[in-house]
């Protein structure tokens, strides 16, 4: 389909290569902005392949990014500016787009959802998903906030992602370990200190159009638990009773309404506690950890393509899952990878949809402390969650990685 006029001209900031391709397939003329320090040239070439123009800038230079957006919108009569990438560079991009009148969302909505502290304050102000919490401006203020709340508590940077800087604080030793970790990683505040939510965890994917929010799917989430809460696997669709599903729908749609979110995907994490669903966090983007592929494998629904069909005016039609899909992550010891075997055997399995193992012999495997330091993943399809678990276990058993482990001193006070 070919579209004409300003409404067909789309500027995307930090678009993944498949986004540009799928936007073009939906009939849009696409301009793309990327920071070349974040991706290798081969990837940028893939982005450029389906774009009218690829523009490069430093996302850390907010004034420069805003100026490039304004210049491109005015030079080409851009009708819409979208940022569907990482949250860090969203604020200046959405603010500039709103000022130019080409943002489908108010900047306030994006800020309210992406900033964990702002989201918690918004929910508290309206009595939705109540969670005891405090905001601490700096590391030195976290200890005082911890002292005022019943232990255990969770502490995390308000604007970080991928489980970075998340910890369960049960005592002074945990607090000391967390302080050392976020200081070393330069994870700046503000920090959110809140009660520890206990119960099964879920990711809720939505697609909004004209302020109406559609739940596309719910994914069950498993983590390592304390101290780092790194995701180990996901099952889609989540096995839920109808009343549980309805409760998750209601709390997520309630949050999106309160934030004033108008258009696009959102990824919201929720814990189903004994007191009802409690929102952990939300982002104005698609879920990571290959959740879009899980939805497509289980339902034949391409949520990425649906974003651009929706932008073009088509109605949102949530899918009905036909079977189960799961992603399982690899967790290997930290150290030097001496050899790896089994990858071809894994790829040959008929139920394997994707395999990612980005290491070769000689590489150093990091210690896993967040989503970015896991050691790869496999995506499988199955007829049930139990079968998916069995298939993930088989794949993990086939992965033969010989690692020369390094001796890692445990951080002072860390709990194993």
**Span 197-322: which CATH code?**
3.30.470.20
Has domain 7-103 been given CATH number 3.30.420.40? Answer: no
Contacts of 157 (CB under 8 A, 6+ apart): 116, 164, 165, 182, 187, 188, 189, 190, 191, 192
- pTM exceeds cut of 0.85: yes
Q: Which residue(s) pair with 314 in the sheet?
A: none
CB 328 within 8 A of CB 395: yes
* Long-range contacts (CB closer than 8 Å, 24 or more residues apart) made by 177-186: 177/227, 177/411, 177/412, 177/413, 177/414, 178/142, 178/227, 179/139, 179/142, 180/411, 180/412, 181/369, 181/411, 182/139, 182/157, 183/139
Separation between Cα atoms, residue 271 and residue 23, nearest integer Å? 33
Domain ranges across the chain = 7-103, 132-195, 197-322, 324-408
User: Which CA distances in Å does 280 have to 210, 227, 249, 289?
Assistant: 25, 16, 14, 17
Residue 39: its pLDDT value, please? 96
What tokens does 326 get?
């799961």
Convert 305-331 into a string of H (helix), E (strand) and C (coil). HHHHHHHCCCCCCCCCCCCEEEEEECC
DSSP 372: G
What tokens does 4 get?
């004409």
Fold of 324-408: D-amino Acid Aminotransferase; Chain A, domain 1 (3.30.470)
CA angle 209, 214, 219 (to 5 degrees): 135
Rounded mean pLDDT for each run of 10 residues along the chain, 416 residues in total: 68 98 98 97 97 98 98 98 96 98 98 96 97 93 94 91 84 92 88 95 98 98 86 97 98 98 98 97 96 98 98 96 97 97 98 98 94 96 97 98 76 35
Residue 226: its pLDDT value, please? 77
Identify which of 351, 363, 223 has the alpha carbon closest to the alpha carbon of residue 289: 223
CATH homologous superfamily for the domain 132-195:
ATP-grasp fold, A domain (3.30.1490.20)
């Amino acid at each position: 389909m070919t579209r004409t006029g300003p409404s067909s001209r789309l500027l995307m900031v930090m678009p993944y290569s498949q986004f540009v391709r799928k936007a073009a397939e939906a009939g849009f003329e696409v301009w793309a902005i990327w920071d070349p320090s974040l991706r290798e040239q081969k990837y940028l070439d893939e982005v450029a392949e389906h774009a009218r123009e690829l523009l490069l800038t430093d996302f850390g230079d907010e004034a420069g990014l805003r100026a490039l957006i304004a210049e491109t919108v005015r030079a080409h009569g851009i009708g819409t500016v979208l940022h569907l990438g990482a949250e860090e560079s969203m604020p200046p991009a959405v603010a500039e787009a709103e000022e130019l009148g080409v943002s489908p969302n108010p900047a306030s909505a994006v800020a309210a959802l992406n900033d964990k502290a702002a989201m918690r304050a918004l929910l508290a102000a309206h009595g939705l998903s109540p969670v005891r919490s405090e905001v601490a401006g700096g590391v030195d203020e976290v200890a005082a906030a911890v002292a005022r709340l019943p232990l255990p508590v969770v502490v995390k940077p308000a604007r970080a992602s991928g489980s970075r800087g998340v910890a369960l604080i049960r005592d002074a030793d945990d607090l000391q370990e967390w302080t050392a970790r976020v200081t070393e990683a330069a994870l700046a505040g503000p920090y959110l200190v809140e009660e520890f939510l206990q119960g099964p965890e879920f990711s809720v994917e939505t697609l909004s159009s004209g302020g109406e929010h559609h739940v596309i799917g719910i994914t069950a989430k498993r983590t390592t638990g304390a101290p780092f809460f790194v995701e180990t696997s996901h099952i889609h669709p989540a096995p839920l009773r109808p009343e549980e599903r309805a409760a998750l729908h209601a709390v997520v749609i309630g949050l999106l309404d309160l934030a004033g979110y108008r258009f696009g995907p959102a990824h919201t994490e929720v814990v189903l506690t004994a007191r009802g669903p409690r929102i952990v966090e939300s982002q104005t983007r698609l879920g990571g950890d290959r959740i879009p592929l899980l939805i497509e494998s289980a339902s034949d629904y391409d949520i990425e393509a649906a974003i651009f069909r929706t932008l073009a005016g088509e109605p949102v039609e949530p899918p009905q899952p036909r079977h189960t899909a799961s992603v399982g992550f690899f967790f290997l010891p930290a150290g030097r990878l001496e050899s790896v075997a089994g990858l071809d055997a894994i790829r040959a399995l008929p139920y394997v949809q994707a395999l990612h193992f980005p290491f070769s012999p000689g590489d150093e495997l990091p210690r896993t402390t967040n989503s970015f330091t896991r050691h790869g993943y496999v995506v499988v399809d199955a007829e049930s969650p139990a079968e998916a678990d069995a298939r993930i276990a088989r794949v993990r058993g086939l992965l033969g990685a010989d690692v020369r482990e390094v001796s890692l001193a445990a951080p002072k006070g860390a709990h194993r």
